[in-house]
Amino acid sequence: MHPVHPSPPLWQAMLLTAAAGGMGWGIRGQYGHETGAMIAGALVSLVLCLLFARHLPSATVARAAAWGTVAIGFGGSMTYGQTIGLTQNANMVGNLHAFLWGMLGLGIKGALWIGFAGAFLGMGLSGVRYRTRDVLVLYAVMLAACALGIAALNEPYNPAQRLLPKIYFSADWRWTPDVTPEVLKPRREVWGGFLAAMAVLLAQLAWIRRDGLALRLGLWGLLGGAIGFPLGQCLQAGHAWHKELFAHGWLADADKVINWWNFMETTFGATMGATLALGLWLSRHRINAGVAPNDPPPATPHLNTPVEWVLLATHLVLLVGVEFVDSPAFNRIYDFGLMLGFIPILGTTAGRFWPWLIVTVITLIPIAGKTYRNLIVEDATLGPVPGGILYLGLPLLIAGFMFFRLRRHHAAGDTTRWLAEALLFNTAIYFLLNNAFFRFPWPWQTWTARTPNALVYTACTTLLVLAATRILRRPPPSSPSA
C-alpha cells in the first residue's frame, strides 16, 4: 500500500504561495531583516508542505518547514536600502547606469536571500538523510566560505579614505563624486560572503549529498529572488521617475494613500513565493525520492532533553539580546544571519521539539516584541500593562498553546492537521499584529498610506484561511493498492 501523493493544480499552488509570500514579505517590512523575513519563510514553507508533502511522516515535514523558515532569514544581513536608492533617489532619477547597476545589485541580493530558503526546504523534503554531523559539516563549510567571500568581494571597506570594494552596490562616489564620507555614509556590504556560501551549499548538494530536489529548489529560489526584488522595485522606481503622472487627477489622489515601498516588498514576496511553488511543482516527483524502499526509518533525534533546553535558552537569550538590547556583545555574536540561524538549524536537525517551536513561539517572539515597542514604548497607544498583555503576553500564550497542540497532532501522526493549523495560526497572528502596527486602518475610515496594503493582506489572509480550512475538512485519501 502506498499513500496518495498530493499533486495540487499549478495555479492553486502559485496563487497560495504568492499570497503567503506577498503578505509575509510585506509584513516583514514593518519588522525588518532576519527575524522579519522568517514570517514569510514560515508562511511559504507551511503552504508548500501542506500542498505537496502532507503524505510524508510528520517529523520529516516539520523539519522541512522549520528549515525553510530559518534559512530565509540568513540574507537579512545584506544591506539593500542604498541599493534601492541608486534606482530612485532624487539625484539618481534619470541616471540609467545607476538604475541598472542598482537593479543588478537587488537581483543578486534577492537571489541569495531566497536561494537559501529554497535549498533548505528542499533538503527537508527530498528524503535524503541529513544527520547532525552532515549538517554541522555543511554549515561549517558555508561559514568558512562566507568569510572568504566577504574578504574577496566586499573589501576594501574604509569610507573615511574613500576605499570601497570594486563591485559595490550601495552609495558610492562613482555616482556622487563630490559628496563627503560623512554625508554619503557608504554601508558595509556582505553579499560576496553569501554568494560564496550559496555556491558551496549548492556544490555540496549536487556532488556530495546527491540531493536533486534541494539543488533544484535552491536554484528556483535564486531565480525567484533575482526576479522578485527588481520587479518589485520597478514599481517604486517607476513612481520616482515619473512623478508628473501622479501630479493631477485620480492618480494624484491614489498616490496620497499608496506606500510604494511596502508594495515593492509585497511584489517581491509574491513573486518569490510563486516561483518556489513552480519549482516544487515541477520537481514534485523528487519529494521523498531520496528514501529507498528498504531504508530503515529515520533515527530518533539524539539530543537529550537537558541539552535541548540549554540550546533553546541560549538561543532565546541571544535572540532577545540582539533584537532589543543595544549591546556590542550581543551584536558581535548574533547580529549576522548565518550565526542567528545556527542554533535553530542544529536544534531542528537533532532535537525533538524545535521544529514546532520555530513555527510557533520562536518566530513570534521578536515580532511581538517589536509590536509592543512600537505601540507602547514609542507611541504609548496603551499603558504598559494592558499593552504588554495584548501585544506580548496574549500572542505568546496562544503560540505556546499552539506548540502543544501541534505536537499532539504530530504524536497522533496527523501531519495534515498540524500543518493546516500551523498555517492558520501564523496567518492570523501576523495579520493581526501587523494590523495593530498599522493602527488598524479600516477601509471605512479615512484612508492612509497603510490602508491599501492592509486590504491586500486581508485578501491574502482570506485565501490562506479558506485553503487551510478546506484541506482540514477533506476526508483523508484512501491508500490504493501497490
Q: Is the pLDDT of residue 2 over 70?
A: no
Among 100-104, 165-169, 242-246, which is the least confidently predicted range? 242-246
Q: If you write DSSP's letter for every residue of 357-373 in order, what string do you get?
A: HIIIIIHHHHHHHHHHI
Residue owning grid cell 531542528: 348
Cα–Cα distance for residue pair 237/245, rounded to 1 Å: 13
Amino acid at 290: G
Q: Give the largest CA-CA distance in the chain.
A: 75
For the chain, the structural domain boundaries read: 10-154+189-473
Q: In angstroms, how far is the first alpha carbon of the chain from the final one?
A: 5
Cα–Cα distance for residue pair 53/125, rounded to 1 Å: 7
323-360 tens-digit pLDDT: 999 888 888 889 899 999 999 999 999 998 999 999 99
Q: If you write DSSP's letter for every residue of 41-69 in order, what string do you get?
A: HHHHHHHHHHHH-TTS-HHHHHHHHHHHH
Which one, of 372, 374, 418, 426, lies nearest residue 398 by Cα? 426
364-421 tens-digit pLDDT: 999 999 999 999 999 999 999 999 999 999 999 999 999 999 999 999 999 999 999 9
Contact assessment for residue 436 and residue 380, using Cβ atoms and an 8 Å cutoff = no
Q: If you write DSSP's letter for every residue of 155-180 in order, what string do you get?
A: ---BGGGTB--SS--SS-TTT-TT--
State the CB neighbour count (10 A cutoff) for residue 108: 23
Cα–Cα distance for residue pair 114/96, rounded to 1 Å: 27
What are the grid coordinates assigned to 455, written together? Answer: 486590504
Of the pLDDT bands very low, low, confident and very high (cuts 50, 70, 90), residue 97 is very high
49-61 tens-digit pLDDT: 999 999 999 999 9
Q: Is the pLDDT of residue 104 over 60?
A: yes
**Backbone torsions φ then ψ of 299, nearest 5 degrees:** -65, 150
What are the grid coordinates assigned to 273, written together? Answer: 513565493
Handedness of CA 26, 31, 32, 36 (dihedral sign): negative
Q: Which pLDDT value is given to residue 329? A: 83
**Backbone torsions φ then ψ of 158, nearest 5 degrees:** -145, 80
Q: Which helix (H) or strand (E) holds 120?
A: helix 96-125
Q: Is the pLDDT of residue 73 over 90?
A: yes
What residues contact residue 460 under an 8 Å CB cut-off, 6+ apart?
Answer: 19, 20, 22, 23
What are the grid coordinates assigned to 450, written together? Answer: 497603510
Q: Which pLDDT value is given to residue 405? A: 97
Contact assessment for residue 72 and residue 340, using Cβ atoms and an 8 Å cutoff = no
Of the pLDDT bands very low, low, confident and very high (cuts 50, 70, 90), residue 478 is very low
Of the pLDDT bands very low, low, confident and very high (cuts 50, 70, 90), residue 303 is confident
Q: Which pLDDT value is given to residue 479? A: 40
For residue 462, what are the CA distances in angstroms to 20, 55, 84, 412, 455?
11, 25, 31, 28, 11
Q: Which pLDDT value is given to residue 294? A: 55
Contact assessment for residue 46 and residue 419, using Cβ atoms and an 8 Å cutoff = yes
Model confidence pTM above 0.85:
yes
Q: Is the pLDDT of residue 138 over 50?
A: yes
Q: Is the pLDDT of residue 213 over 90?
A: yes
Q: How high does pLDDT run on average in the chain?
A: 93
Of the pLDDT bands very low, low, confident and very high (cuts 50, 70, 90), residue 480 is very low
State the CB neighbour count (10 A cutoff) for residue 41: 33
Cα–Cα distance for residue pair 342/266, rounded to 1 Å: 28
- Angle 306-311-316 from CA coordinates, rounded to 5°: 125
Q: What is the mean pLDDT of residues 70-83?
A: 95
What are the grid coordinates assigned to 222, written together? Answer: 535564486
Q: Which pLDDT value is given to residue 482? A: 32
450-470 tens-digit pLDDT: 999 999 999 999 999 999 999
Percent of residues, the chain, with pLDDT higher than 90: 88
Q: If you write DSSP's letter for every residue of 373-414 in order, what string do you get?
A: IIIIIIS-SS-HHHHHIIIIIHHHHHHHHHHHHHHHHHHTT-
Of the pLDDT bands very low, low, confident and very high (cuts 50, 70, 90), residue 481 is very low
Q: Which DSSP letter does residue 75 get?
A: G
State the CB neighbour count (10 A cutoff) for residue 154: 21
Q: Which pLDDT value is given to residue 304? A: 83
Q: Which pLDDT value is given to residue 292? A: 56
251-290 tens-digit pLDDT: 999 999 999 999 999 999 999 999 999 999 999 999 997 6
The backbone region for 6, taken as left when phi is positive above 0, alpha when psi lies in -120 to 50, beta otherwise, is beta
Cα–Cα distance for residue pair 203/138, rounded to 1 Å: 10
- Angle 319-394-76 from CA coordinates, rounded to 5°: 30
Q: Is the pLDDT of residue 291 over 70?
A: no
